[in-house]
Amino acid sequence: MLYRFLKVYVGIILKFFVKDIKINGMENIPADKAVMFASFHPNSFLDAILLDCIVDRPVWSLARGDAFKRDWVRDLLHKLYMMPIYRISEGKENLDKNDETFEKCSEVFRNKGQVLIFSEGLCANQTGLLPLKKGTARLALQTWSEGIDVTVIPTALNYNQFTHTGKKIVLNFEAPIRKEDFADHQVTGTNVLLFNRQLKDSLEQAVTRDFSFSTWRPVLYYLAFLVNFPVYVLLGSVVRPKTKGTVFFDSVYLATLIFALPVYWLIVFAVLMFLF
């Protein structure tokens, strides 16, 4: 219930944050089958938030394991369809926990659900693809070897900038990678290499710096910008220094905007009612 409410509500707030967006390849996503989104990861939590709001069916996101340390946080993130994935930097002793997460992913796939995994294994405000880790290949091969037919969709969210509202975004869903593309589904070094080679080729096509498209959306964005200008300026002055040197500006800014905009609208409404 919480996830579904936030999916709608945050989708509305995003219209005041994103100036224009172009989505390519939605037809590549099966409507009623298990899907793994193997994604480029340039913009922290915003990548998962945007994908969640754009794709029709719920999407489970694999997020950095250190965010799940506290029990109450773990429970909340689970309600938001998030599961932990651990890296060596978060302690070798935690790597075994990834097996449990992969088992949960397999269960999601058995129920024809959707999972988002960031195939580079880390986030940077980059404009080009980083080397791919083994996790995506391992999860796909393991799932296929269990007889589960999951479709892998190479995915890339591309941003024209990372530190202001009014950004332009290109979201590309590339042609699927399917079980039938591989003769052997065992998790071996050779098969991981073959999978990553195919995924890398697809993601390199999905990553773009072409933001020359134009739709009707900017007209509404600029109208809203005039109304909400005080909020944008105030939040920017607070969030920018707090997130300087990190990849979290957009994510933190959006999180504060989610709470600040309704409060601002209520204040404006109350003032107008008082005056008129």
In a shared domain, residues 201 and 232? no
pLDDT in tens, 221-245: 999 999 999 999 999 999 999 999 9
d(CA 25, CA 223): 30
In a shared domain, residues 170 and 222? no
Which residue range(s) make up the domain with 140? 2-206
Give the predicted TM-score (pTM) of the model.
0.94
In a shared domain, residues 110 and 169? yes
Q: Which of 148, 171, 206 is the last residue of a domain?
A: 206
pLDDT in tens, 33-43: 999 999 999 99
Number of domain units in the chain: 2
In a shared domain, residues 182 and 258? no
In a shared domain, residues 26 and 152? yes
64 pLDDT tier (thresholds 50, 70, 90) = confident
Residue 116 within any structural domain of the chain: yes
In a shared domain, residues 157 and 199? yes
Per-residue pLDDT at 94 exceeds 80: no
Q: Which of 206, 240, 263 is the last residue of a domain?
A: 206
Sign of CA dihedral 241, 83, 38, 166: negative
Residue 211 within any structural domain of the chain: no
In a shared domain, residues 202 and 230? no
d(CA 254, CA 14): 8
pLDDT at 91: 66
In the chain, the N- to C-terminal Cα span, in Å, equals 38
For every residue of 104-132, DSSP letters joined together read: HHHHHHHTT-EEEEETTSS----SSPPPP
Angle at alpha carbon of residue 200, lines to 197 and 202, rounded to 5°: 115
In a shared domain, residues 122 and 238? no
